[in-house]
Structure 1
Amino acid sequence: MMRDRRIRVLIVDDSAMVRKVLAMGLGSDKRLEVVGTASNAGSARQQMEELRPDVVTLDLEMPHMDGLTFLRSYMATSPVPTVVISSLTRESGEVVMRAMEAGAVDIISKPSLGVGEGLPAIMSDVCARVAAAASARPTFPGSGAVAPMRQPDASEGWVHAIGASTGGVQALSRILPLFPPTTPGIVIVQHMPVGFTAPFANRLDAICQMRVCEAVDGDLVLPGVVLIAPGGLRHMELVRSGGGLRVRLFHGDPVCYSRPSVDVLFASLARLAGRSCAASLLTGMGRDGAAGLLEIRRAGGRTFAQDEATSVVYGMPLAARDLGAAEQILPLDDIPGRMALAATAERSSRRMAAAAQQ
């Protein structure tokens, strides 16, 4: 998105110190202009009406009206792209998930260090994510009901992979329930901070036909199971284990500013699964996953990317499109069906090859 002015940011936090640190950090970025700060929902609502910010940064723990209730109130009437920055998220993943479901486009956990030490150290990342949020759609598109897919028994040796970032919580919450319990194993990298992926997996597990878990080192990729890479500290790749595939979690530098990185997961699939995988790159800022998706396509796998109209942030899928990494650019709701068809086609091809040999 081209802009002829700076992105207008409203900071909402009950801590005067946090407001000061955020205002200084965000104000030092040439892309951003802090137009106001508020310590509570009442003041924030008034300033939102007067100042018309492009982005709101929001604490979840505030007096009188908590941040989650406030978020829901303005998303229902006058939605504004919102980045949640709250210490509460480190203790309560359930609140984080509710905030994302209510329309927040990104979540940042306040560091465990004192605000004066920890927050300035991550301000570069905070600025980038606030800037990206300005181009996000504040309400998730395509919220109508979608019928679950029908799919035959899982293709032996097949694996699905998905990468997502900003907006991915909403996207995955929408499409994963569509996959039937007979679906081949799904492995996912969703960019999230430490401590958030386990509660996210638990919420998905409650609404999905497949079993959804936060991945543990050594987990086997099995039909009917979704494995989500733990957020923040380690990369996730797949390694060969007998006749199947197993998760390997390992420490390493960020790739495309991300850890876990979609590129790392996708590259391992290209090496090991080749033609026996389908991968999709969903909404998110940056380029993570685009190069890995291209590797999968070159190895013979099936590759898809989410289209601009249904993406909250059209960054990662755009990078994949520009690289020629995705064989098809699809609306979000079409992606599960295309992935399922890829697995079904592979199974039919194997049956025909086996019959020809008899």
Structure 2
Amino acid sequence: MMSIQVYVVDDSAVVRQTIMHLLEGDPELELIGSAPNPLLAKPAIEKRPPDVLLLDIEMPGMDGLTFLRQIMDSSPIPTVICSTLTTDGSRMALDALAAGAVAVVAKPRIGLKQFLEESRRELTQTLKSAARARPRRVSAPVAGPASTAAAAKAPAAVLHALSVNKPVVIGASTGGTQAIESVLTGLPADCPGMAVVLHMPEKFTAMYAQRLDTLCAMRVKEARDGDRLERGQVLIAPGGRHMQLRKAAGQYFVAIADGPPVNRHKPSVDVLFRSAADCAGRDALAIILTGMGDDGARGMKAMHDLGARTVAQDETTCVVYGMPKEAVALGAVDRVVPLHHVAENIVAFDARG
């Protein structure tokens, strides 16, 4: 079996040496080169593109985010960001994901060598997972229904008066930050209420929701327990907590609660989808986007069997065709569509009445 070829760009000699030592102990990974900054790394990467790039952000000559954007604009390479600037909930981490990074690993400013050695298993697994991704060129959101963003948001009082009788639930993982942004920025302000689960760590989701709120015509917020699903609003499940859909007095709400991981994830897409099957049945639309693993597939099958509409992102436009693939294999999917057609499927679902 061919080993996964890794290239490291980090201005710390300690980091480069430690990574080399860590990878030497894993037969599935091979370090093919390293550089202290992007200017030196660029010609080497162009000559011999690695399977995965491990990239710092703070470096002399050119910062890692600028380099990442250049890579994703020309010849995308699966990239893992490893930086002291990407601590939990930092805007820099979200900027890296938005720029096309597959994953983000936060490293401490002190005790770095010890941290990397203790995190050997997590880091090597992240690199292996990232290598299976197929990153796409990242471009600015296309002008569309949400191009005027906040200025186009309908007054909350108007939308609150419109009942949500057809909820939309969405699940995503690897590559999902960009995919969800692509879908939501293509929607008008008066779409049905949506509940979204994205595999994202605690503290990241609040800032991610704030970012989307500035880009979308719909209002976007991190969900709180008891929030009502309203037209024109998207609720993002908080990292580290499960989100379920509930129905009372003819209205839909979300329940946010702790609990063990499901399919190794918390929040879990399956938890949301199964709850939507229980309380919404055939009235709901479920969408599964890019992601590794099978979370959401069985929950979508439960929805499908009860008559809900189900849509999966196609393989060509997925960063990782894992979750959609598993849902398709289970016979849980009505339609398989490219990412740029997902928004129109939501609009069409709403228009059916």
Q: TM-score range by the shorter chain?
A: 0.7 to 0.9
Q: What is the alpha-carbon distance in structure 2 between the residues aligned to residue 112 and residue 213 of structure 1?
A: 32
How far residue 158 of structure 1 moved from its aligned partner, in angstroms, is: 1.5
Q: Determine the structure 2 residue equivalent to 1:284.
A: 291
Deviation string for 1:22-71 (max 9, x for gaps)? Answer: 44444444432122233322332243245431110112223342211221
Is 2:71 aligned against 1:74? yes
Of 285-294 and 103-112, the range deviating more from structure 2: 103-112
State the aligned residue count: 339
Deviation string for 1:85-137 (max 9, x for gaps)? Answer: 22312267332333233222222333799445554555434333322322333
Conserved? CA contact 1:278–1:343, under 8 Å: no
Q: Determine the structure 2 residue equivalent to 1:238.
A: 245
Q: Determine the structure 1 residue equivalent to 2:319.
A: 312
**With structure 2 as the length reference, what TM-score do the two structures score?**
0.86
Q: What is the alpha-carbon distance in structure 2 between the residues aligned to residue 142 and residue 277 of structure 1?
A: 31
SS at match of 2:282: coil
Is 2:34 aligned against 1:37? yes
**With structure 1 as the length reference, what TM-score do the two structures score?**
0.85
How far residue 300 of structure 1 moved from its aligned partner, in angstroms, is: 1.7
Structure 2 residue identity aligned to 1:295:
A
- Match among 8, 11, 15 for residue 11 of structure 1: 8
Q: Determine the structure 2 residue equivalent to 1:258.
A: 265
Conserved? CA contact 2:102–2:133, under 8 Å: yes
Question: Gaps spanning 5+ residues in structure 2: where?
Answer: 147-158
Q: Determine the structure 2 residue equivalent to 1:191.
A: 199
- Match among 190, 211, 236 for residue 219 of structure 2: 211
- Match among 91, 95, 100 for residue 98 of structure 1: 95
Q: What is the alpha-carbon distance in structure 1 between the residues aligned to residue 23 and residue 143 of structure 2?
A: 40
SS at match of 1:90: coil
Of 28-37 and 259-268, the range deviating more from structure 2: 28-37
SS at match of 2:53: strand
Quote the sequence identity (%): 44
Change (3 A) 1:336 1:75: closer
Q: Determine the structure 2 residue equivalent to 1:83.
A: 80
SS at match of 1:158: coil
Structure 2 residue identity aligned to 1:328:
R
Deviation string for 1:147-185 (max 9, x for gaps)? Answer: 439xxx866322101111111111111110122221111
SS at match of 1:127: helix
Instruction: Please report the RMSD computed on the Cα atoms of aligned residues, expressed in angstroms.
Output: 2.6
Map 1:1-358 → 2, pairs under 5 A: 4-90=1-87, 93-110=90-107, 114-116=111-113, 118-120=115-117, 122-140=119-137, 145=142, 147-148=144-145, 156-231=164-239, 233-345=240-352, 347=353
Deviation string for 1:271-305 (max 9, x for gaps)? Answer: 11111110100011111111111111112211110
Change (3 A) 1:14 1:30: same
Q: What is the alpha-carbon distance in structure 1 between the residues aligned to residue 351 and residue 333 of structure 2?
A: 19
Q: What is the alpha-carbon distance in structure 1 between the residues aligned to residue 309 and residue 329 of structure 2?
A: 17
Q: What is the alpha-carbon distance in structure 2 between the residues aligned to residue 268 and residue 93 of structure 1?
A: 31
Conserved? CA contact 1:9–1:36, under 8 Å: yes
Change (3 A) 1:229 1:269: same
Q: What is the alpha-carbon distance in structure 2 between the residues aligned to residue 236 and residue 35 of structure 1?
A: 42
Conserved? CA contact 2:76–2:137, under 8 Å: no
Conserved? CA contact 1:26–1:33, under 8 Å: yes
